[in-house]
Amino acid sequence: MIDRRNLMAVVGMAPFAGWTSARAFTEDSKPNAAPKTSREVLRDRYFPNVVLTTHEGKKVRFYDDLLKDKIVVLNFMYASCEGVCPVITANLMTVQKLLGERVGRDIFIYSITVRPEEDSPKVLKEYARMHGIGPGWLILTGEPKDVELLRAKLGFVDPNPEVDRDKARHSGVIRFGNEPLQRWGACPGQSAPDWIVASIKSVDWPKSEQAKRAG
């Protein structure tokens, strides 16, 4: 039993203040720090600026080079995947065709390998060549820990840890987002390509802006 007298002892024993979220709240809002914009909040919460390597061997930063100011389409895959990947890659090929010249201009497609240990830029380049992947669509690899971080942050995870470890059962979801407008959605990668395109267009620029952005 705790009574009034030894309650104070309890208070003295534990570092309560550091545990409360109220404290974190005050720490976060230092008087001099400008409050973060919602865009910065999303960036800091979800988009680590890790360095990845493209199938063309170029080093790129995830947020600065790949997401910032763009409409993006994201999925995870690996080169030797024979499960859902062929269908999803084929769907993305059609999506790329349907989106036409906008791919590489204001819309970018990024496929990130879940097997960075095997999928070197060279392997991915071969994959890109084999599938006829065009400009504006990058196949990406990186340090395994960075790839895992991205996968977790972007929610390409399975609730069953065993399934999550099984690369052949990696998520078949496609995420799409408009980074500056903070519009993010997702659809199954095995959906019909025209529905994937319709879904991506739900995060498109406002009509007035489309012409300017898409050129």
Partner 1 sequence: MAYISKINRRQLRDQANAAKNRRELIAAQFSRRDLMKMGLLTSAGLLIPKRGLSVRAQDALSSFGQTGQCTSPATTPFVDLLPIMPVKQSVPSLNPAPTECPNTAAGESRTRCHQAFTQLPPQRLYQVVQQTANVTVSPDLPVQTMWGFDAIVPGPTYVSNYGVPILVRNVNSLPINNGGFGLPSVSTHLHNGHTPSESDGFPCDFFEIGHFYDQHYPNVLAGFASDHQPNGDINEALSTLWYHDHRVDFTSQNVYKGLAGFFLLFNQFDTGNESTGFHLPSFPDFDIPMMFADKCFDQAGLLAFDLFNLDGILGDKFLVNGKIQPVLHVSPRRYRFRWLNSGPSRFYQIFLTRLDSSTTNQFWQISNDGNLLPHPIQISSVKLGVAERADVIIDFAPFAGRTLYLENRLVQRNGRGPDCELSQRGQGNLLLQIVVDLPPVADNSVDPATNPTFYTLPDKTAQPRVTRTFNFELTQNGQWTINNQFMDCNTIRFTVQQNTVERWVLRNTQTDRPAWTHPIHIHFEEYQIFSGNNQFCFNEPPTSVNVSRKDVIRLNPNTQVTLFFRFRDFLGRYPMHCHNTIHEDHAMMLRWEIGTTGDLNQNP
Q: Applying CB under 8 A, which residues contact partner 1?
A: 1-4, 7, 10-11, 13-14, 16-17, 19-22, 24-25, 28-29, 35-36, 38-39, 41-42, 45-46, 83-84, 152-161, 163, 169-173, 175, 181-192, 194-195, 198-199, 202-203, 206
The tokens of 118 are what?
Answer: 């095997």
Q: Min. distance of Cβ 46 from partner 1 in angstroms?
A: 6
Dihedral angle of Cα 110, 116, 120, 124, to the nearest 10 degrees? -30
Q: Min. distance of Cβ 56 from partner 1 in angstroms?
A: 27
Q: Specify the residue, 57 or 86, whose C-beta has the smaller distance to partner 1.
A: 86
Q: Min. distance of Cβ 167 from partner 1 in angstroms?
A: 11
Enter the DSSP assignment of 133.
-
Dihedral angle of Cα 18, 22, 25, 26, to the nearest 10 degrees? -80
* 146 CB burial (10 A radius; 0-12, 13-18, 19+): middle
Q: Specify the residue, 95 or 136, whose C-beta has the smaller distance to partner 1.
A: 95
Q: Min. distance of Cβ 38 from partner 1 in angstroms?
A: 4
Q: Specify the residue, 23 or 129, whose C-beta has the smaller distance to partner 1.
A: 23
Q: Min. distance of Cβ 165 from partner 1 in angstroms?
A: 13
Q: Specify the residue, 105 or 169, whose C-beta has the smaller distance to partner 1.
A: 169
Q: Within 10 A of 108 (CB to CB), how many other CB atoms are there?
A: 19
In angstroms, the CA 205 to CA 215 distance is 13
The tokens of 122 are what?
Answer: 């060279």
